[in-house]
Amino acid sequence: MKLFLKIFFLLPVWLLRCMTFQKSTVINNQILDFQTQIFIGLQSLQVDSFDDPNSFDSAQEIREFMIEGLPLSSKPGMPIKIKDHFLPTEFGHLKIREYCPEKIISSSPILYFHGGGYVLGGIESHDAALQFFAAEIGAKFFSLDYRLAPENKFPSSLEDANFALEWLGEKLNMPIKEISLCGDSAGGHLCASLSTFRAINNSELPLSQCLIYPMIDPSCNSKSQVDFASGFFLSQKIMIWFWKQLINSAENQNDPLFNLTIDPKVCLPKTLLITAGFDPLSDEGEAYARLLHNAGNEVQQIHYPHLIHGFVNMTSLKAAKSATVDLLKTCLLYTSDAADEGLGVDLGGRRI
């Protein structure tokens, strides 16, 4: 399978069109990247995909099913030094992996939270992607192995994230306001939840947050959730299941740390929010960007209309790599005062 994928990733798009005779997928005036389209068609061959989580006996069974990942991330462009840290807590050791590129460009470290619906994923699932990220923008990344649901319900992961941020500030001997947050999907939700938690409690806020196609709305009833309910890597059914694993009680629905559609009425860090066109989470991500904007917060949204959820972990796909490099360059500005120079656009228009 790995050899087959290596060959597939090298094939030019024109040859894929000749080999498959498929028409381009067009929804809501958005055209799905053709290489990505064919890759989705091969999804049944992926060992790390699943269509119905309810067909498994437990979340742990799903994790074991997905334990061997496929080579979907590009190799880093420079050597990366990796070091694991183990933080003692009342429930055991919390693991954080440090990625230090050979050449440091940004002095602001980035604390990263992985995706996986709060149920799947971890340091290992995002290891290749984080090496690529660190090399691409020359910044130190710290990837947190937070506790997963359903064994650890909300707000366990939030507690881990806050603990890790405080630890990182002490370790690096720098104020929290010089540290940035970044995360994809559930990790994007965790970034926003952590920033909101600290704002509500009058704690020092991080420098910025980059939310990559974040989970926002536990109701899962947006138009994009319906339009892309199945067939585009992430499904509405899986999203509903993820939220059910995370929720601790019905009261969480009214908690702005859990349900990000609720305006916490606090000032949050400058925010870069990424959405993808063929993603069930696209509309709720855009709605969250608008909520922050209307509340007076500094926010920019970049929309990639031709891509799917999870594309930053699929940089072996040409369009996914190009978009990931693009968003990382913007993220680099957000981890420094250079963000004020205004790369990209604000909510008044999407950068495509």
Tokens of 208: 């910025």
Return the higher-pLDDT residue of 126 and 42: 126
CA–CA separation, 303 and 320 (whole Å) = 13
Q: What's the average model confidence in pLDDT over 223-243? A: 95
Beta strands 208-212 and 270-278 are parallel
Q: What's the average model confidence in pLDDT over 17-38? A: 92
Is 208's pLDDT higher than 70?
A: yes
Lowest mean pLDDT among 24-38, 41-55, 178-192, 227-241: 41-55
DSSP state of 85: E
Residue range 249-297, pLDDT digits in tens:
999 999 999 999 999 999 999 999 999 999 999 999 999 999 999 999 9
Tell me how long the chain is: 352
Question: pTM here?
Answer: 0.92
Burial class from Cβ neighbours inside 10 Å (0-12, 13-18, 19+) for residue 292 reads: buried
Tokens of 255: 């908690």
- Residue 346 has a pLDDT of 38
CA–CA separation, 62 and 55 (whole Å) = 9
Confidence of residue 21 (pLDDT cuts 50, 70, 90): confident
DSSP state of 351: B
Q: Which of 233, 312, 223, 222 is nearest to 25 (CA)?
A: 233
CB 259 within 8 A of CB 189: no
Q: Residue 92: what are its φ and ψ, rounded to 5°? A: 130, -160
Angle, helices 318-334 vs 127-137, to 10°: value is 60
CB 181 within 8 A of CB 168: no
Q: What's the average model confidence in pLDDT over 187-197? A: 98
Is 2's pLDDT higher than 70?
A: no
- Residue 67 has a pLDDT of 58
Q: What's the average model confidence in pLDDT over 231-238? A: 93
Q: What percent of the chain has pLDDT over 90?
A: 76
Helix (H, G, I), strand (E, B) or coil at 264: coil
Q: Got the DSSP string for 115-176?
A: -STTTS--TTTTHHHHHHHHHHHT--EEEEEPPPTTTS-TTHHHHHHHHHHHHHHHHHT--G
Buried b (16+ CB within 10 A) or exposed e, 70-92: bebbbebbeebeeeeeebeeeee
Residue range 286-344, pLDDT digits in tens:
999 999 999 999 999 999 999 999 999 999 999 999 999 999 999 988 887 544 443 33
Tokens 């069930």 belong to which residue? 280
Q: Tell me how far CA of residue 72 lies from CA of 8, 9, 49, 107, 312, in angstroms.
A: 11, 9, 13, 29, 9
Q: What's the average model confidence in pLDDT over 217-232? A: 96
Q: What's the average model confidence in pLDDT over 59-80? A: 80
- Residue 301 has a pLDDT of 95
* Mean pLDDT, all residues of the chain: 90
Confidence of residue 204 (pLDDT cuts 50, 70, 90): very high
Tell me how crowded residue 29 is: count the other CB atoms within 10 A of its CB. 7
- Residue 68 has a pLDDT of 56
